[in-house]
Structure formats: C-alpha cells, structure tokens
Amino acid sequence: MIRKIFKDKSFIKNMMMLAIPISIQSMIQSSLGIIDQVMVGQLGQNAVAGVGLGGRIPFIFFMVIAGITSGTSIYVSQYWGKKDTNNIKQVMGATLMIGTLVAILFMSLALLMPKGVVALFSRDQAVIQEGASYLAIVSLSFVPVLITMTYSSVLRSTHHVKLTLYAGLMSVVTNTILNYILIFGYLGMPVMGVKGAAIATTVSKVIEALVIVAVVYGKKLPGCVRIKDLVTFKMNFFKLFMITTLPLLINEFLWSAGESIYTGIYGFMGTEQATSMIITYPLQSFCISIFIGLSSAAGVMIGNKLGENKYDIAYDYAKNFTILGILGAVIVGIGVMLISDIYVSTYKISHEVQNNAIILIIVFCCVLCVKVGNMIMGGGVLRSGGQTKLTLFLDILGTWGIGIPIGLLAAFVLKLPLYAVYLLISLEEVVRFIIGLIWMKRKIWIKNIINDEI
C-alpha cells in the first residue's frame, strides 16, 4: 500500500507542497512553546505550573478560533477548487465577525477575573498568582491571533503557504529574543519572570499578524479583501456557513475545555503532579505539530477534489493520508522516547517530577499514532465534506463521555498514580479512532457542500 501511495506522483507532489510548509510553521510555533517552557522552567516549579495553568484560557480560545477557521478552510478549499473567488470574501467576513465576538468574550474573562480562572485548576496560591499575571497579559494577543489564523486559513486553502511559514518563523525569533531579555532582565531591562514571558508572547503575536496582513495586501494575495466586502455578506450564506461552522466551534470549545479539565485533575492531584504533566505539553504539541501539515493538506486536497466532484480520488486521498500519518507517528514516537530524559533534564525541578514526566512522555508516545490518526480522519477527512456534526459527536463522546469520567474516577476515587491516570484518560482516543475509521470507510463524509448556489 505504501509503495502504491508513493507511485502517485501528483498526490505526493501536492501533499508535500502543502504539508511541509504548514508542518514547519507549526513545528516552529510549537518549538516556541518548548523555548518558553524551558526558559520559565529556570524559575522553578511554581512558575512552570503557573504559566501552564494560566495558559489554559488562551489554549481554549485558540482552539475555538481553530474550529471557526476550520469552517473557513472547508469553504475556501471547495470554492478554490470551483474557481469561485467572490464567495471567499463572504467566508472571510463571516469568520472575522464571529471570531471578534469570541475574542472579546475571552479577553473580558481573562482581564476581569484572571485569579478566579486559574483557581479552577489549582489550590496553590503561589501558582494562582503566577498564572493570573501571565493570563491577563497574554489575553491582549487574542485579536492578533484571530487575524493571523483567519488569513492563514485562506492562504493555506488556496495553496499559498510560504507566507504563513515566514511570518511564523519571525514570530518565534522575536519571542525567543524577548523572552531572554524580559524573563531574566538583560540589556538594562528589569527581571520580569513570568510577566516577561507573557509580554514576549503578546508582542510576537502582534508582529506576526501585522506581517501577514501587510504582505497579503501588498502582493494582492488571496485574502486581499476590502473592509467593505468583509462586512457585507448575504444572510443565506451566513446561515449556511454557521450550519457547518457552529458544530466545529462547539466541538473545539468542548474538546479544549475537556483537555483543560484534565489539567485541572492533575492540578488538584498536587503541584508536583501538575508540573510533571505541564512540562510534557510543549513536547506533545511539537510531536502533533509534525503532522498538522498532513492533516491540513488532507482537508485542502480532499476538499478540492470534492469541489470538483471527483469522489473516488477524494476517497483514495483519505486512505493515503491516514496511512502516512499513522506510520509517521510510530517513527516519531520512538524517536521522542529516546530523547525524553534529555528534554526533562533541562528543567530546574525535583528528580521526582522529572521521573514522572519521563513516564508520561513514554505513555504519550505509545498513543501518538492513534492521536494522529484521529486528527487526520476528524480534522482532515470528515471535515473536508462538511461533516462537522460527526466530529462533534466523536470529540464529545471521547472527552466528556469517556476521558473525564475515567480521569475523575482514577485520580480521586481509586487514587491511582499520575501515569496511570493519564494512560486511562488516553484510552478515549482509541474509541474515537475505531469509530472514525468505520465512518471513513463507509464514505458518509463524501459530499460537495457548495453544489447549491449561494
């Protein structure tokens, strides 16, 4: 099967053109998380836990916007396959309007009650204080993040991926330099610790958004739309867009909220347990980021074929992407296991926390292939045909129907060790994988959602 996939030169060429720049950009962004965490890790366990828990609301916000822009990508991909550029303007307008409302809501929550938010995940007052100061500052980056993600989704869906890569790289370099200066107080700046990390993140996000917008409008790339066109779209289109996008928004909100509840479970098990888990998050994100490009390319390429009514090719693409993702995840998982102790040793934390973190990373690597399979089938294949209600069902079932109940039972009733709690929670991925695979093979996702004129 693998040999057959690589014989399809057109598939491989298009996949690599889309997937590699997107994955590199995502890996760059994820490496920023590692750099952030390692630098903050020099400040001690409370700082690591504070930033990790304070980052829960930004994480939920990011995932909600990712849900909205997934809807954007679905429509733009199919419109681009149909050579319909006019309706792309409506897609962007609807995306920015919904996203702005979401950004205002999350910013208000983060600015008005930061301590109350972080207290949902920990009893430790020192950790709450650190997390609240981080959250309040980082929330100022929400609007720039919305702008970046909206324009990036349009660029990716129209096969213009290099700009997002370069802008992301610039953001990481800026963040790293500012982290070094502001966290530790170099070049005449005061030592700002966690607040310095938050300022660095916010400034880098603003710069990234400005660069993308400036180049899009300067070079007249897809997404170069007048403000007038962004605020004038047909209501029948908006209703259709919401039918597809609302389940994605709800999906990503419930999934990310569920993931944050997992973090709360670890947090209430103790600060050491929370720190052990939190320092694995950047490495987990980096591993997943390697396959973000594959998932995004799947959505775009399959969406293009569905827009062209080439359903057999779309199904072949779905199988190809899923197989490549699973095999790649096995290889990456083995590699990460081998370097887990080196990664953990960079933090100034106790040996017990380090040992727990290594075990957690090994557990993660064992289920990585299932996670990646779910990401490609749910985020790429099913969504490419607008089947967002199916992915919503899968994520609610996995996170809220299986993961959270098992996590609460394992941690607070059975009082199992941290690694066992994490392993049991991860079993929900296996259930979602089996159901997703069945749905993919039944081809219930194959649909051209733009056949009817809007």
Longest Cα–Cα distance of the chain, Å, equals 63
Lowest mean pLDDT among 15-29, 259-273, 326-340: 15-29
Give me the mean pLDDT over the 275-290 stretch: 90
pLDDT at residue number 355: 92
Tokens describing residue 221: 């790339």
pLDDT digits (tens, 9 = 90+) for 236-270: 777 878 887 887 788 788 888 998 899 889 988 98
Lowest mean pLDDT among 295-309, 310-324, 360-374, 404-418: 295-309
Determine contact, residues 296/381, Cβ cutoff 8 Å.
Answer: no
Determine contact, residues 89/225, Cβ cutoff 8 Å.
Answer: yes
**Whether pLDDT at 452 is above 60:** no
What share of the chain has pLDDT > 70, as a percent? Answer: 94
Distance separating alpha carbons of residues 132 and 116, to the nearest angstrom = 8
**Whether pLDDT at 123 is above 60:** yes
Give me the mean pLDDT over the 184-211 stretch: 91
Give me the mean pLDDT over the 157-171 stretch: 83
Lowest mean pLDDT among 190-204, 230-244, 406-420, 426-440: 230-244
- Greater confidence (133 vs 309) lies with 133
**Whether pLDDT at 449 is above 70:** no
Question: Burial letters for 205-224: b for 16+ Cβ neighbours within 10 Å, e otherwise?
Answer: bbbbbebbbebbeeeebbbe
Domain ranges of the chain: 2-442
Q: How high is the mean pLDDT of the chain?
A: 86
Distance separating alpha carbons of residues 163 and 95, to the nearest angstrom = 20
- The confidence band for 350, taking pLDDT boundaries of 50, 70 and 90, is confident
pLDDT at residue number 453: 44
DSSP symbols for 405-438: HHHHIIIIIS---HHHHHHHHHHHHHHHHHHHHH
Tokens describing residue 243: 């039918």
Give me the mean pLDDT over the 90-98 stretch: 86
Where do runs of H (alpha helix) occur along 185-291? 193-218, 227-230, 235-269, 271-278, 281-289
Determine contact, residues 34/308, Cβ cutoff 8 Å.
Answer: no
**Whether pLDDT at 382 is above 90:** no
- Greater confidence (47 vs 410) lies with 410
What share of the chain has pLDDT > 90, as a percent? Answer: 36
- For residue 223, the SS3 value is coil
Determine contact, residues 346/35, Cβ cutoff 8 Å.
Answer: no
**In angstroms, what CA-CA distances link 83 with 14, 307, 446?**
18, 10, 20
pTM for the full predicted model: 0.77
pLDDT at residue number 6: 65
- The confidence band for 332, taking pLDDT boundaries of 50, 70 and 90, is very high
What's the helix, strand, coil split of the chain in %, to 5?
85, 0, 15
pLDDT at residue number 115: 92
DSSP letter for 35, please: H
Distance separating alpha carbons of residues 303 and 60, to the nearest angstrom = 26
Determine contact, residues 286/31, Cβ cutoff 8 Å.
Answer: yes
- Greater confidence (212 vs 162) lies with 212
pLDDT at residue number 454: 44
